[in-house]
Every structure is written in C-alpha cells, then in structure tokens.
Amino acid sequence: MSFTIALAGKGGTGKTTVAALTIRYIIEQLEQSVFGVDADPNASLGTALGVECEKSVSDIREDIIEKRLDFPAGMSKERYIEYSIEECLIEKSKYDLLVMGRPEGPGCYCYVNNLLRKYLDRMGTEYPFVVIDNEAGMEHLSRRTTNRVDLMLVVCEPTVIGTVTAKRIMKLSQQLPLSIKGKVLLFNRVPKEGLDKNIKERMEREDLKPDLLLGFDTEILQASSSGTSLLEISRDNPTYTALSGFLKNHLTVEVASK
Ligand SMILES: Nc1ncnc2c1ncn2[C@@H]1O[C@H](COP(=O)(O)OP(=O)(O)OP(=O)(O)O)[C@@H](O)[C@H]1O
Ligand SMILES: [Mg+2]
C-alpha cells in the first residue's frame, strides 16, 4: 500500500513548492519512486519540477465524452482509457507525474469518471509514495483524486487571515468523506523574526499548533522567477533541509491524528 501525501491550503501559500520539494526528498533521500498527481486545474507541479505536460486526464475525458475518439477495433473502452492515461503520464527516471486538468463539468458521465478513478486508484498502489498537489481549498479533494490520505500537509501563510483559513481547513477536513490519517500545519515564508505575537495568540486561542515553520527563501523565489526546477536548487537549501528533517519523522513513523 502506498503512502499518500496531499497538499491543502489557501491560494498562493506554497502548496506546489512544498509538493515538489517533498517529491525531491522521496527520490533523493529515501531513494523511492513516487507518483506525483497535479490535481490543480491551473497545473503547475510540472513547472516546479521542470517538466512539460502536453495532455491531461481531462483531455481524455473530454475526448471520450465528445466522441472524438475512435476506439481501436478489439479494444474495450476500459482498456482504451488505461492506454490513454498511460500516454498522459510523464515518466521520469525517478518519478512519474500525471496532470488531472480541468474538473468534470456538470453534464459529465459517471461511467468515464468511475473508470478514471478506478484506474488512478490502481496506479497509486504501484508506487511506494503518492504526492497530490491541489488547488486552493479542499472540497474537491475527495471527488478528484483519492479518498485515502496518510498525511495531509496544510500550508499556511504567516498572517492572521492565514491562521483563520488554516483553522477552517482543519475543520473541513474532518467533514469530508476522506480518510485522513495525519494532518500537519506548515507555516511558509515566515520572516526571520518568526511568527508575529498576534498570530501566536490567535493560534493558541484556536487551539492550533504549527508543526513546521519554513522561512522566506530567496533561492526558491528566484527559481520560480527563472523557471528553474526545484529538483535543481542547492541541496543545502534551508527550506528543503527543514522540510526533509520534518518528513523524515512523518513519512516513516505512524502519524498521530489531530
Ligand atoms: N518559502 C518561500 N520563500 C519565498 N518564496 C516562496 C516560498 N514558498 C513559495 N514561494 C513562492 O511563492 C509563490 C507561490 O508558491 P506556490 O506556487 O508553491 O503556491 P501555491 O499554494 O501552490 O499557489 P496556488 O494556490 O496558486 O496553487 C511562488 O512564486 C513560489 O516560488
Ligand atoms: Mg499550486
């Protein structure tokens, strides 16, 4: 059974950055293979990893629904969907990446979605780790990808609004039809002086505790400006080092649920 890590949080907090660095940690330090899933319609995990994606799962779905595809003779629709997903898969030597693309429209066919979900579930089990990058919010998570998450990384900005959103996401995650074994709260782009007093007070009142603080990192910002892959930033980058130290404990031991 693979260990599934999912990203959640408000827009622009650093989910994709943390997803890409998590993939790097798994391949570089755990030396394991990983299945990356970009579930954000505004796909960007590929860019963070320095790869380009030409086709997404939503393109397959739309092709099937609009019957733009001619099913090859003797091939079932189910087999054809498998074959098409394999074509979408970006295969690198140490990780594979699948881009989900746009969410299904209102008139969408359950049959196609069920086949896609079934295939994705099966694919997920073929890797020791699965990392799912998501769009902001998390309502769509159970619909679009998996319903079993071992570790949810909630990424949050170091502001009062960020704290309020983190609380909301933590609460919402309990109401979704998802099995989430462990949940952790990461503050990203934290200034050198640490979290502001107001944020700390608010966190205490809300009964929230940050599990990890990641600082503001000029190398990461520079990488996103120049389009450099996060797999290529320095190995001793402070954000990567801090995240790796954290993941070392959380990906190997049972995660206590909050
Ligand atoms: N620790 C950091 N220090 C400095 N810049 C950062 C840090 N983490 C992320 N960034 C930058 O912040 C921007 C937003 O990051 P990212 O795309 O990872 O956020 P996101 O939560 O995935 O956004 P979205 O909700 O749009 O998908 C990027 O330009 C990224 O390089
Ligand atoms: Mg993102």
Domain ranges of the chain: 3-53+91-103+123-250
The count of residues in the chain is 258
| pLDDT higher than 50, residue 254 | no
State the pLDDT confidence band at 75, using cuts at 50, 70 and 90: confident
CA-nearest residue for atom 26, ligand 1, is: 12
CA-nearest residue for atom 9, ligand 1, is: 14
State the pLDDT confidence band at 255, using cuts at 50, 70 and 90: very low
Highest mean pLDDT among 37-41, 167-171, 199-203, 236-240: 236-240
How far is residue 38's CA from residue 44's CA, in Å, rounded to a whole number?
7
Name the residues around ion ligand 2, CB cutoff 5 A.
15-16
Q: In what order do the strands lie in the sheet with 3-9?
A: 90-91, 95-99, 34-38, 129-133, 3-9, 148-156, 179-190, 212-215
Q: Which of 186, 221, 243 to mutate to test the pocket of ligand 1 (most atoms within 8 A of CB)?
A: 221
Of 26-40, 80-94, 128-142, 199-213, the poorest mean pLDDT is in 128-142
Number of CB atoms found within 10 A of residue 58's CB = 20
Cβ of residue 12 lying under 6 Å from some atom of ligand 1: yes
Which fold does the domain 3-53+91-103+123-250 belong to in CATH? Rossmann fold (3.40.50)
Cβ of residue 188 lying under 6 Å from some atom of ligand 1: yes
Of 5-19, 51-65, 106-120, 147-161, the poorest mean pLDDT is in 106-120
Cβ of residue 84 lying under 6 Å from some atom of ligand 1: no
State the pLDDT confidence band at 140, using cuts at 50, 70 and 90: low
Strands 179-190 and 148-156 turn out to be parallel
* pTM reported for the whole predicted model: 0.92
- Cα dihedral sign, 105-109-110-113: negative
Residue 95 CA to ligand 1 center (angstroms) comes to: 22
